[in-house]
């Protein structure tokens, strides 16, 4: 990310992904009373929604798109050749569906990972002439070490408070390891997003906080749920008022090793990171319009982000989101359904390390924001959708309760109000556009998120079908309601 505000926005978003809704009345009679107040939709709309659900649950279209993006094209970090190939592929696929396709130019960061190695070269009980290999990865935006690496003692802390309690003399010229653990129990209870939000601040801000104390490099314990010795990458932020220092994510097991050894005595590491930040390059948001039959000027966005980190192949983050957005258009064309308002498919570029795509769109289309009826994004994997995350007035939520009842058959009938939804549509949310995300089961999502294990095998085809149904049915409902949804108050 390029600013503190961007990182903190993402951290807040992730911390609130699994926040609980206000308590609802308990008991069968209370639920019946609530349902009795739900107005039915036009019979044609109700029939169309049933057809959409059935078609989505019988289709492998989205899975085939995920497979091509992740297996055939591969990692799609902004500025990479694969990202450009993905742009061209999705644009071609949307044209084949009969959509009006445009490419919106976006200037994106071009960060290249390079070599990344580390080893403990001094530690208590060390055998002569040996070292211990440490598994790590550079964090997005990290600067490089000297070409031949650097060697320094490691200082371990569990929090920013512990770091700030040390004197600068104890930190100067050393490597700081932030051993902030991902809360597995919280994730197992269905609050994986909250667990991630608690830990990810150390990845976002750790390098700058260590640099303020005179450190020469920093490491952070991988921000994830699975201990398979997988390093976790992701964007970091350098404050403008401090020296940039190399920053890496170290596996949970290796973090434990370092902490254990450091408790016994001095531990020194040789660290080599050769990452480069090259000049920004042009890329594109891919935009495809299925024009509305009555109000073509009014737009409902369905979307996912096209870029991914480069360790895995970006299947769950976020080829899955792009694919279910594409399938919204594919299902409508397959069933010859004609939404009254325009449904706009967007494959965003640069969500992972800058958010340039979402920001550019909000700027380029600011004059047309009043005609943006809703923005929907899927960017939390491909787990079972329990329903929707919603940032919209209560009156808007009430108008979607009939849809929620229809989706109860596949366990996707929750409408959960949240402050933040997904990063790419946040700029539109701030302009008052109602925003929605798929409320997915994320208990295992952070096992693989931002790691080499984000690959096609982590996508369950049946669950992806459920996500496609939920995305398409929400978009089609909003597109065909008699009046646009009530809006929120714009704020920056």
- Please check the confidence at residue 61 and state whether its pLDDT lies above 80: yes
21: confidence class by pLDDT, cuts 50, 70, 90: very low
Residues 77-134 have pLDDT tens digits of 999 999 999 999 999 999 999 999 999 999 999 999 999 999 999 999 999 999 999 9
- Please check the confidence at residue 14 and state whether its pLDDT lies above 50: no
Q: Cα–Cα distance between 234 and 403 in angstroms, integer?
A: 36
List of domains in the chain: 38-110+279-480 (3.40.630.10), 114-274 (3.50.30.30)
**Cis before residue 318, ω within 30 degrees of 0?**
yes
- Cα 43 to its chain centre, rounded Å, is 36
Residues 217-233 have pLDDT tens digits of 999 999 999 889 999 99
297 among known catalytic residues: no
DSSP state of 115: -
Segments of 239-320 assigned E as strands: 247-250, 268-273, 276-290, 295-305
DSSP state of 423: G
Please tell me which residue in 116, 351, 377, 422 is annotated as part of the active site.
351
491: confidence class by pLDDT, cuts 50, 70, 90: confident
pTM of the model: 0.92
Average pLDDT over the chain, rounded to an integer: 93
Residues 30-46 have pLDDT tens digits of 444 445 578 789 999 99
**Cβ(355)–Cβ(430) below 8 Å:** no
């Amino acid at each position: 990310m390029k600013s503190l505000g961007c990182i903190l926005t993402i951290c807040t978003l992730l911390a609130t992904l699994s926040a609980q809704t206000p308590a609802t009345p308990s008991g069968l009679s209370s639920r019946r009373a609530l349902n009795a107040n739900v107005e039915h939709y036009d019979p044609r709309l109700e029939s169309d929604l049933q057809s959409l659900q059935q078609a989505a649950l019988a289709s492998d279209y989205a899975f085939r798109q995920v497979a091509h993006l992740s297996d055939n094209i591969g990692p799609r970090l902004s500025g990479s050749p694969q990202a450009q190939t993905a742009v061209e592929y999705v644009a071609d696929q949307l044209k084949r569906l009969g959509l009006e396709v445009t490419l919106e130019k976006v200037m994106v960061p071009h960060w290249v990972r390079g070599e990344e190695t580390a080893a403990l070269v001094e530690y208590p009980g060390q055998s002569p002439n040996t070292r211990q290999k440490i598994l790590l990865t550079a964090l997005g935006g990290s600067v490089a070490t000297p070409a031949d690496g650097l060697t320094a003692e490691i200082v371990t802390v569990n929090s920013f408070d512990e770091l700030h309690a040390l004197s600068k003399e104890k930190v100067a010229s050393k490597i700081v390891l932030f051993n902030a653990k991902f809360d597995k129990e919280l994730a197992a209870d269905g609050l994986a997003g909250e667990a991630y939000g608690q830990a990810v601040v150390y990845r976002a801000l750790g390098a700058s906080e260590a640099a303020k104390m005179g450190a020469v490099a920093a490491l952070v314990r991988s921000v994830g749920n699975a201990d398979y010795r997988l390093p976790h990458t992701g964007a970091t932020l350098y404050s403008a008022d401090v020296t940039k220092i190399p920053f890496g994510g170290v596996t949970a097991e290796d973090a434990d090793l370092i902490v254990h050894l450091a408790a016994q005595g001095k531990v020194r590491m040789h660290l080599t990171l050769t990452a480069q930040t090259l000049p920004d390059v042009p890329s594109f948001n891919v935009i495809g319009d299925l024009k509305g039959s009555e109000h073509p000027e009014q737009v409902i966005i369905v979307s996912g982000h096209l870029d991914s980190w480069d360790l895995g192949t970006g299947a769950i983050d976020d080829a899955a989101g792009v694919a279910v957005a594409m399938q919204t258009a594919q299902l409508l064309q397959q069933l010859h359904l004609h939404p009254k308002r325009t449904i706009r498919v967007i494959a965003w570029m640069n969500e992972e390390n800058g958010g340039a795509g979402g920001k550019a769109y909000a700027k380029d289309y600011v004059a047309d924001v009043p005609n943006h009826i809703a923005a929907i994004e899927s960017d939390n994997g491909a787990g079972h959708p329990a329903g929707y995350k919603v940032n919209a007035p209560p009156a808007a939520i009430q108008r979607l309760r009939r849809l929620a009842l229809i989706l109860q058959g596949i366990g996707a009938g929750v409408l959960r109000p949240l402050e933040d939804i997904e990063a790419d549509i946040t700029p539109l949310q701030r302009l008052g556009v109602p925003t929605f995300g798929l409320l997915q089961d994320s208990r295992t999502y952070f096992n693989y998120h931002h790691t080499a294990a984000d690959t096609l095998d982590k996508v369950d085809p049946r669950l992806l079908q459920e996500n496609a149904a939920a995305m398409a049915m929400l978009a089609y409902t909003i597109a065909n309601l008699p009046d646009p949804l009530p809006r929120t108050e714009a704020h920056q």
